[in-house]
Amino acid sequence: MNLQTLQNIFDCFYQRTYIPFSIVKDDQLIFPEYSPLFHYRQDLQYLYINDEFPLHITNNYQFLGASFLYPINQETYRILIGPCFVLGSQIKDQYMKELTYRISSESTESFTSFCQNIYTLLTTHSLNENQIPIKYLRINHDKLTPKEIFEKNLYERRSEDATRDSYQFELRFLDYVKRGRKDKIDWIFKTIDKTYTVHLADNSLDTIKIKFISLVALLTRLAIDEGVPLDSAFSLSDSLIQNLPNMRSSQECLKYIKYASYEFIELIHHTSKQCSSLINQCIRYIDTHIYEKITLRDLEDTTGHSTVYISSRFTQELGLTFSQYLLNKKIEEAKHLLLFTDHSYQEISTLLNFTSQSHFTQRFKHVTGQTPKAYRDMNFKYL
């Protein structure tokens, strides 16, 4: 592997993970033009030592870094991985704070596992945990115990009288979702900065993420109480929370909360529709066979009713023809695949049984007003 190829690989990794990579040769930074780990090398000498350990990791309780030697064309280079912020840490260095939205936050365990996999991928040599020493540069004297955090939060809530406001906000929010009032949801997000005044985390993004998880739990319970099947409610909840680490800014996270609210509104609204047992049976069949080619003949075989009768019932009960309903369901599934998977447009087209990628693009744009690429780029630019 040549140097340019390695740089391209590291670029791709950073775009996907927000974990930076650097290449150093003889105390000279080769790639990229600037590296925080190289900038702080005087304080991170442990990453630059040569000993019996192939991979070195350091943790200064604010950020993590790693390094290992890698040969290219008979020359030895040092690969630096990081920095990554320590998950839940308090960033006090002003320079590092400015990097918050461009660098991932990881636990020591996940960062170590990532570095171990990168090392194995490049060198083809496996490492065990005994070969990966972790150097802790200082003790975090400022870290509060759980009891101290509890007392601090309780004092803040009492002094700022925030608990009652937060509770009233949640009641209003859940009521708006239950009634499908997207206009009220929009209004809430215009005033959300005035609603929560108590900080659960020093980093505002971490605070919003904590609130998001709590809110999704409440929305999941609400959806179940409104008759949404357990597997549907929890599947939506899981998919939303699994994608949360990809939020890189407070503004992006707030937009994601609004998106999650709309998804629960649609789920509750869809479930609340009063349909006959025949149409409910057809809907269940479509939901469970969405990745297959579905025809009216399939529904006839499943329900025992004629295609003509099924078609007329779709129009009468749902206000859509069978073909329109099926297309809408496939487009909704395509949206999910675009946002939460790495599938290409061709792969999604094939999975959902469109005749071709161009046909998929055409039908997607017909329903949403956007091409699949525009939809993915607009919603989650990191994908």
Rounded Cα gap, residues 253 and 182, in angstroms: 18
Determine the pLDDT at residue 197: 43
Query: Is residue 329 within 8 Å of 286, Cβ to Cβ?
Result: yes
Rounded Cα gap, residues 111 and 20, in angstroms: 12
Determine the pLDDT at residue 98: 67
Instruction: Tell me the CA end-to-end span of the chain in Å, nearest whole number.
Output: 26
User: How many angstroms separate the Cα of 346 from the Cα of each of 42, 281, 349, 358?
Assistant: 49, 31, 5, 9
Compute the Cα dihedral for 377, 379, 380, 383 and give only its sign: negative
Give the 3-state DSSP-derived string for the chain, with helices as H, strands as E and coil as C.
CCHHHHHHHHHHHHHHHCCCEEEEECCEEEECCCCHHHHCCCCCHHHHCCCCCCCEEEECCCEEEEEEEEEECCEEEEEEEEEEEECCCCCCCHHHHCCHHHCCEECHHHHHHHHHHHHHHHHCCCCCHHHCCEEECCCCCCCCCHHHHHHHHHHHHHHHCHHHHHHHHHHHHHHHHHCCCHHHHHHHHHCHHHCCCCCCCCCHHHHHHHHHHHHHHHHHHHHHHCCCCHHHHHHHHHHHHHCHHHCCCHHHHHHHHHHHHHHHHHHHHHHHCCCCHHHHHHHHHHHHCCCCCCCHHHHHHHHCCCHHHHHHHHHHHHCCCHHHHHHHHHHHHHHHHHHHCCCCHHHHHHHCCCCCHHHHHHHHHHHHCCCHHHHHHHHCCCC
Sort residue 301 into left (φ over 0), alpha (ψ -120 to 50) or beta. Answer: alpha
Q: pLDDT tens per residue, the chain (383 residues)?
A: 788 999 999 989 888 888 999 999 988 999 888 888 888 788 788 888 888 889 999 887 778 899 999 998 889 999 999 888 887 666 666 666 666 667 888 888 888 899 999 999 998 988 887 888 888 765 444 555 555 455 555 555 554 444 444 666 677 788 788 878 888 888 777 766 544 444 444 456 777 788 888 889 989 988 887 767 777 888 889 888 888 887 777 777 888 888 888 989 888 877 655 678 888 889 889 988 999 999 999 999 999 999 999 999 999 988 889 999 999 989 988 987 887 778 999 999 999 999 999 999 999 999 999 999 998 887 654 33
Which tokens go with 380? 């989650």
List the one residue out of 113, 129, 137 whose CA is nearest residue 54: 129
Determine the pLDDT at residue 1: 78
How much is the pTM? 0.39
Determine the pLDDT at residue 91: 64
Q: Compute φ and ψ for 40, nearest 5 degrees.
A: -100, 25
Query: Is residue 74 within 8 Å of 64, Cβ to Cβ?
Result: no
